Amino acid sequence: MKDIVQVDKISYNYPDQPLLFDQLSLDVHEGEWLAIIGQNGSGKSTLARLIDGLIVLNEGHITVDGLQVNDQNIYNVRSKIGIVFQNPEDQFVGATVEDDVAFGLENQLFDRSKMHDIVEESLKSVGMWDFRERIPANLSGGQKQRVAIAGIIALSPKIIILDEATSMLDPRGRKEILELVQRLKNENHLTVISITHDIDEAAGADRVVILNHGEIIDENTPRGIFSHPDKLRQIGLDAPYTSKLLAALSKRGVSDEKSYMNDEELIAWIQQLVSTK
């Protein structure tokens, strides 16, 4: 599989701060959903900003779809990446929902005759076309994130970065946004990098990387990562619900089953225990 993002031995520190990344390397495969998890301050969002060229590295290289992230390539690099930020309030410019989506296209000097169709198509794909004449400020958190995603889809990027994009939403809004991104990913052959401390969001990824104090301390499938719930807790993250229930059962002497199970697997396992007692 081709690597769409290559982070090669990068070093970075914020002004007057100690080194956050020291020789960090990471590859993102084309078409995968990669979750980068870690607690507040672990460097997750900084990494996203470096990939998008919003901040500049001290050392090393980052390549996005074959282009090195530098001054010369910056606009081409950014045209390949769309970022959904944590707080939707911080990313609106248009007076109405459709203006906001059109803004990005105008900025890219898009052909006006095509613009209307693209805005319509993008808003429909996130289920917000009926809200096109509304003021973004008056929408709910989940609706705002949908509009932000429409603005990104309109520019047909290759990579979407979700930078804690669901952390301010209620559980329902969170689930809906993740389902939406999953669908858009499949329809548009996107690569998704989701930066999160929500274990349920990570559970839906193809691959998970744990970042702690600027270092990658683990990298695996969600199943592999969740098989060590203690490790997750040590770095301030939560264990998946099924791991907690298994632990409570093993404490009660039911079984010493230690491997990770998702909801369906754990239900089937309990069903079997109960029926064969």
Partner 1 sequence: MDTAISLNKVTHTYQANTPFAQNAIDNVTLQISKGSFTTIIGHTGSGKSTLVQHINALLKPTEGHLEVLGRVIDPNTTNKNLKAFRKHVGMVFQFPEKQLFEETVLKDIMFGPKNYGVNDGEAKKSAFNAMELVGLDKALADKSPFDLSGGQMRRVAIAGVLAMNPEILILDEPTAGLDPRGHQEIMDLARYLNKNKQMTIVLITHQMDDVIDYATNVIVMDKGKVVKVGSPAQVFSDPKWVYGMQLDLPSSAEFAQQLKKAGVNIGQLPLTIDALADRIVRLVGKGDTK
| By the rule CB under 8 A, 204 interacts with partner 1 | no
> Which of 54, 244, 259, 262 forms a contact with partner 1 (CB under 8 A)?
244
Minimum separation from the CB atom of position 228 to partner 1 (A) = 16
Site for partner 1 in 99-158 (CB under 8 A): 140-142
Token couple for 56 = 């500049």
Site for partner 1 in 33-52 (CB under 8 A): 39-41
Q: Please provide the DSSP assignment of 215-248 as one string.
A: EEEEEE-HHHHHT-HHHHHHTTPPPPHHHHHHHH
One-letter amino acid at 62 equals I
Minimum separation from the CB atom of position 143 to partner 1 (A) = 9
Q: 209 φ, ψ to 5°? A: -120, 130
Minimum separation from the CB atom of position 266 to partner 1 (A) = 8
Q: Are 153 and 118 in contact (CB under 8 A)?
A: no
Q: How many residues line the site for partner 1 (CB under 8 A)?
A: 36
Nearer to partner 1, 155 or 177 (CB): 177
Residue 179, classed as helix, strand or coil, is: helix
Nearer to partner 1, 64 or 199 (CB): 199
Strand pairing class (81-84; 159-163)? parallel
One-letter amino acid at 6 equals Q
Side-chain-side CA neighbours of residue 78 (13 Å): 14
> Which of 121, 170, 187, 265 forms a contact with partner 1 (CB under 8 A)?
170
Nearer to partner 1, 83 or 154 (CB): 83
Closest C-alpha to 37, from 160, 183, 167, 186: 167
Interface ranges with partner 1 (CB under 8 A): 39-41, 86, 140-142, 164, 167-168, 170-173, 197, 199, 236-238, 241, 244-245, 248-249, 251-254, 263, 267-268, 270-271, 273-274, 277
